[in-house]
Structure 1
Amino acid sequence: MKYRIVVTAIILLNSLALIAQPEMYYGDISRLGKPFSKDPHVIRYQGRYLMYTSAPPSKTGDDAMQGWGIGIAESSDLIHWKKIADVPPSGELESKGICAPCALLVNDTVHLFYQTYGNWRNDAICHAWSTDGIHFTRNETNPIFHPMGEWTSGRAIDAEVYLFNNQYYLYFATRDPDMRIQMMGVVVSPLNGGFKRESWTQKCDNAILSPEFPWEGLCTEGASIIQKGEWLYMFYAGAYNNRPQQVGVARSSDGLKWEKLSNKPFLTNGDPGTWNSSESGHPHIFEDDDGRTYLFFQGNNDQGKTWFISKMEIGWNESGPYFK
């Protein structure tokens, strides 16, 4: 009798795990042999969807890549994804790795903004461009940005570039001089600047968004921007990985001054036993050609041993975003 009870309990737990798995559930296994994909950014390009993600160093071997890289997956329906390529580190600047991609489509060119990895306070934002979304040419002025001022350590990660008011706004995460608190800033560039280092002008002498609520811990990062009417909305991550990281929302009328919509997270981590019980983090808000919007985010239930990416559809009303 006890044996039957145990077996039945295991079957029920497995069934619950399957129920908890979302419709989109992507994790690249090509580099570690287990699912591991972080920091999603999605575009629609040349008749398909492309998703750029942070990909960890692969295992040792003839095909091992040095440091973190950027993975590329494709989809026809925003649900089922297939890994198709990598953007590996290139040159001395990127020798320890690259990650946290942001893909910006300008006419027929994909502009990829990303950070160097593993250099602590010296990590900075870089840029590359591509006419097929797969093979990228580096900006000759890389790194294109790191912040200045007594409020910051000089580190810049988690780039988000958005066209607003006839300028490009680059949002970034940095840390305080003690490298303890993660916060965000912004720089702008004219449309004809070519995203070169000299084109960017820092527009803040202090953080534009920083942790203040208990759920945010010591970290606000991973900005993702969308415009709805007169407002810019920023989806951002609060708290460091798995502490748990969750998603909040802020809004702005000028792209520089931001107000948080709530002292609670917009998207929380999952309940115990669900796929994202350790966190729901690093958001990306994507607007499709038909005007529907989706919030992509990373999650796991094992404190970061694996990482999956999923999405949820977002609706909008006079108060801002809501889950459909």
Structure 2
Amino acid sequence: MTADDALGSIDLPGTPRLVGAPWGDTSRRGRPYAKDPSVIRFGGRYLLYCSLPSGSDDVAEGWSVAVAESDDLVSWRTVAVLPPFGDYDATGAAAPGAVVLDGRVHLFFQTYGRGREDAICHAVSDDGIAFTPNPENPVFAPSGDWTCGRAIDADLVATDEHLVLAWVTRDPEMRIQMLGTARAPLDSAFGRADWEQLSVDGPALAPELPWEQECIEAPALRWDGTTFTMFYAGAYNNCPQQIGWATSTDARTWTRGADEPLIPAGPVGAWNHSESGHPGFLADGPDAGVLFFQANADDGHTWRIGATRVSFDGATPRVEFHGEAAR
């Protein structure tokens, strides 16, 4: 099967309307492969932060955070791959979450390959490409008897006073993937002592619905000044992973918006047949945005990132699908 064969159709009934064609970097494995999107508008263009795999299917370690850029959200090109910053991410880094604060890009990412010791790190950039790491890295890992102590899949949104961080962990047996939140003052350095863990006695969200199986991960946050909307991925990769959503007024207590996925895996023949997963949200006005997500049609042999426009009725998202009304 070629990479083109694996893509599948992007406009079958029941698939979301996309902004351009799905994109994947081919530099590492010779086929489209990019995961975990986080997109910002910065310096007159869009910057996409994503995870690139090791150079071989047989090597687990060596994942990296990459930067791609676009002028139109349609055509993307990789412009940088971040090097390891220290011993803590020498085995790999992945799942970036980017946010712009006071004209600088703050990037949060997870270490990769350390098991229970994987944690969230932080780096800052003036141009969105070259980053200076926080000297306290890693800056966040959760505590509590409900968690194994691991933290991955960072995403962030700023309120008037705080930077809110959503993160993912597992239970002490390392089986169930769950989601938590924390916050730090906006005027802080986002070091270890600056974070207040909001999910103290248990997760903000844990898998409950049949389609979520044993995993909730990959949060993507929106704040409208009153309410948080969180997009999240349910189920592990290709099980299939699908995208749901939840809301909160305090970032502590979350309520699911629906029992069924907002963006499910696609029908047979679709580019997202194996999964629609790991969302990333880019605001585009007070009541609209672009939702990025990873998908594939070949059980993970390839991975591409697509984008669909989303509108909001208050905190409730709506996505347009081919052949049917918006959901």
* TM-score between both structures, scaled by the size of structure 1: 0.90
- Aligned residue among 279, 285, 309 for 2:275: 279
Partner amino acid, structure 2, of 1:179:
M
1:52 to 42, 49, 53: 49
Letter in 2 for 1:124: A
Distance 1:59 1:16 in 2: 24
**Segment drifting more, 178-187 vs 289-298:** 289-298
Aligned in 2, Cα 1:227/1:15: closer, same or farther, shift over 3 Å? closer
Query: 4+ runs of 1 displaced by more than 3 Å?
Result: 13-22, 289-292
What letter is aligned with 1:47? G
CA distance, structure 1, for counterparts of residue 7 and residue 307 of structure 2: 22
Aligned equivalent of 2:209: 213
Q: Which is bigger in relative contact order (C-alpha 8 A, separation at least 6)?
A: 2
For 1:298, the equivalent position in structure 2 comes to 294
Residue 211 (structure 2) pairs with residue 225 (structure 1): no
- Tell me which structure has the larger Cα radius of gyration: 1
1:6 alignment partner in structure 2: none
1:28 aligns with 2:40: no
The amino acid that maps onto 2:243 is V
Question: What secondary structure sits across from 1:113 in the alignment?
Answer: strand
| Structure 2 residue 107 is matched with structure 1 residue 107 | no
1:229 deviates by: 5.3
Cα 1:195–1:319 change in 2 (3 A) is closer
Deviation at 1:90, TM superposition (A): 2.5
Whether the 8 Å CA contact 1:250–1:258 is kept in 2: the answer is yes
Q: Deviations over 1:198-243 (max 9, x none)?
A: 1111122210111000000100011111123522100000000000
State the shift of 1:144 in Å. 0.1
Q: Which has the higher helix share?
A: 1
Aligned sequence identity (%): 44
- Hey, what's the Cα distance between the residues in 2 that align with 1:185 and 1:217? 18
The aligned residue for residue 118 of structure 1 is 113
Structure 1, unmatched stretches of 5+, are 1-12
The count of aligned residue pairs is 309
Q: CA deviation at 1:292?
A: 3.7
- Rate the CA distance shift 1:14–1:166 in 2: closer, same or farther, 3 A: closer
Q: Compute the displacement of 1:19 (Å).
A: 5.2
- Unaligned residue ranges in structure 2 (runs of 5+): 321-327
CA contact (8 A) 2:33 2:304 kept: yes
Deviation at 1:318, TM superposition (A): 4.5
Q: Does 1:197 align with 2:202?
A: no
Alignment of 1:1-324 (within 5 A): 17=9, 22=18, 23-59=20-56, 67-205=62-200, 206-228=202-224, 230-288=226-284, 292-318=288-314, 320-324=316-320
